[in-house]
Amino acid sequence: MVSQGDAFCPGHVTAFFEVCEDPDPERKGSRGAGLSLSVGVRTTARVREAAQASLDVFVNGRRQRAEVTELAASKVLGSGPYEVKILSETPLPVSQGFGVSAAAALSTAMALDDALGLGMRREDLVRIAHVAEIECGTGLGDVVPASIGGMDLRLEPGAPSHGVVRTFDVREEVLLAVLGPEIPTRSVIRDPAKVAAINRAGSTCVAEFARDPTLPRLFDLGNWFAEETGLASKTVREVVRASRMFGRASMTMLGNSVFAIGNRDQMAPFYLRFGTLIRCEVDNEGARIL
């Protein structure tokens, strides 16, 4: 007999961040701020008992080697003799700063728990997804804020019981635009020189945002951070500046992409010149069972 569970996790964009190292993956992560998105990853987990364990992951209908998803699933499943199919759907591109790996890991953990009726604590499922992303080097701080929703200020890094996150309800429409090639997160967070620049600027941004945690301030600090760290490409810098005629935009961390608010009818045609454009809203609910 096949049992099934379904879950959704919002995507997440970070405007600025600080890398926080720790040998314990539950304590490792980032400080920073960002937004959860109404677009993310919807995952269906189908499970049945089998003589030999197996795990297959499909993303948007295609079988894929999904390292973070597989690791999160294995942590939920343990040594159980299950035949498992993970079916994830997302409109978001990977390695563009939209928190896809985090959303896939958490929605998978939640869907599997639902399918098997394990009754695991929500904090434990979030911890599993956070640790999976840390161990795979695909991200640092998307899982916990995406589990909560809204606009977030991450004051302390890590999984639940270690991380400290303030969230704010925000009702806003958002545009996501991809402007260039992928930026693999591990290529940045494993570069000591880049991390040093990120941490100098990131710590300043966190302190400033804590004093005035508003949506306009998120964009102002995000733009300063992107330029100060040198992470923004020439194209991203020019698009952000041009966007000021109709609203506000900031680089997604880490991707050759921007997220923006303002007059979407004016901004959308401009962003479409570069390719991928996604319309969404801020998600204030966080990850959930469907």
Asked whether 97 and 60 are in contact (CB, 8 A), the reply is no
Tally of CA atoms within 13 A in the half-sphere of 243 that contains its CB:
28
CATH number (3.30.43.10, 3.40.50.800, 3.40.630.40, 3.30.230.120) of 1-290 reads 3.30.230.120
Beta strands in 115-182 (DSSP E): 151-156, 164-168, 173-178
Four-point Cα dihedral 270, 275, 278, 282, nearest 10 = -70
Tally of CA atoms within 13 A in the half-sphere of 16 that contains its CB:
31
Q: Give me the DSSP letters along 90-119.
A: -SSPTTSSS-HHHHHHHHHHHHHHHHHT--
CA dist 78 and 85 (Å) reads: 15
If one counts every other C-beta atom within 10 angstroms of the C-beta of residue 26, the result is 17
Identify the CA nearest to 184 among candidates 129, 146, 137, 144: 137
Asked whether 41 and 103 are in contact (CB, 8 A), the reply is yes
pLDDT at 1: 79
* 183 alpha carbon, distance to own chain's centre: 14
Give me the residue spans of the domains in the chain: 1-290
Q: What is the pTM of this model?
A: 0.96
**Going residue by residue through the chain (290 aa), what tens digit of pLDDT does each one get?**
789 999 999 999 999 999 999 999 999 999 999 999 999 999 999 999 898 899 999 999 999 989 999 999 999 998 888 999 999 999 999 999 999 999 999 999 999 999 999 999 999 999 999 999 999 999 999 999 999 999 999 999 999 999 999 999 999 999 999 999 998 888 888 889 999 999 999 999 999 999 999 999 999 999 999 999 999 999 999 999 999 999 999 999 999 999 999 999 999 999 999 888 999 999 999 999 99
Q: Which amino acid is at 88?
A: S
Identify the CA nearest to 152 among candidates 162, 137, 138, 163: 163
pLDDT at 188: 86
**Tokens at 23, concatenated:** 């040998």
- Residue length of the chain: 290
